[in-house]
Structure 1
């Protein structure tokens, strides 16, 4: 497929959300997107979003207010109120979504800094409260977090301060229109 000037255009996928993804430009199967939803080259370092076309998971990169450690309730409120890259439906990840950013080939942090340049070694809150603390109140509650230091999942008291990475769900590639193939 060529553009109007006759230049070859790589095959693309357009999601129901309007994202145009070029499979040939994915980095480790993930798309780096600008804050205005443009799919950037795999070697880009100026991206604001990491999008997984298989699952539809979209992760924020350098979201304002998330460069500090927060209590889990504060992190959840901040994520819920976040308006970033044109989206307003951000939240803390569940445990599997949180583990998505872990890369076991990397060490301290166990995250690929090409994808997550703002990643620091330490814990990142999830939105999942531990089952044994569901009937508790205040700091007696505990929440799961993902350790980007070790690449593990653990839990911490509601009075711990950890980092957070907001996520949202976009349409997965299975619901996309493939163009140019």
Structure 2
């Protein structure tokens, strides 16, 4: 092993770190594919979406107006972009796959358009499961810094639709 490089093995991936501390490559062990950070994200659909080649998720390259959770969920399910109508609101875990906490204001890679504000996720907080209406709360991601917060369903925040475009690692 080259003493100037470090390899980190995490579940199904190996992250190789360069001497400057930045990821040199990400290897998806399940697919035996090397994905360099610069190649992970790609503008597709004439710039209307961003393809994440590591997760297989395609992200709408914009955010909705500020909406309460129910309207944001409906927005995500109703949008048609590039001929695709299978968009949905991402879970908190899916949303965090594009957050880079080494970045600030916003914490998304520069390929993404963002307002740097709160974005809804589909993940309801455990303590409000089974409740209806405004008494529910959902996890949201603050795209200024990447922190996750629980917000009441009646609040008005943005949505970023996503769709599954390919198996992870392709």
| TM-score bracket for this pair, using the shorter chain length | 0.7 to 0.9
Partner of 1:92: 89
* Cα displacement string for residues 23-79 of structure 1 (whole angstroms, at most 9, x for unaligned residues): 79x7351222134xxxxxxxxxxx11111222211100136xx1x111111000011
Q: Tell me, which stretches of 5 or more residues in structure 1 are unaligned? A: 1-22, 36-46, 177-181
Considering fraction of residues, name the structure with more strand: 2
Asked whether the equivalents of residues 52 and 58 of structure 1 are also in contact (C-alpha less than 8 Å), the reply is yes
Normalising by structure 2, what TM-score? 0.73
Asked whether the equivalents of residues 107 and 146 of structure 2 are also in contact (C-alpha less than 8 Å), the reply is yes
Please tell me the root mean square deviation across aligned C-alpha atoms, in Å.
2.0
Return the match for 1:110 from 107, 112, 137.
Answer: 107
Normalising by structure 1, what TM-score? 0.68
1:71-90 alignment to 2 at 5 Å?
A: 71-90=68-87
Question: Larger relative CO (CA 8 A, sep 6+): 1 or 2?
Answer: 1
Q: Tell me, which stretches of 5 or more residues in structure 2 are unaligned? A: 1-34
- Figure out how many residues of one structure are paired with residues of the other and give that number: 136
Quick one: distance in 2 between partners of 1:54 and 1:122?
25
Asked whether the equivalents of residues 103 and 145 of structure 2 are also in contact (C-alpha less than 8 Å), the reply is no
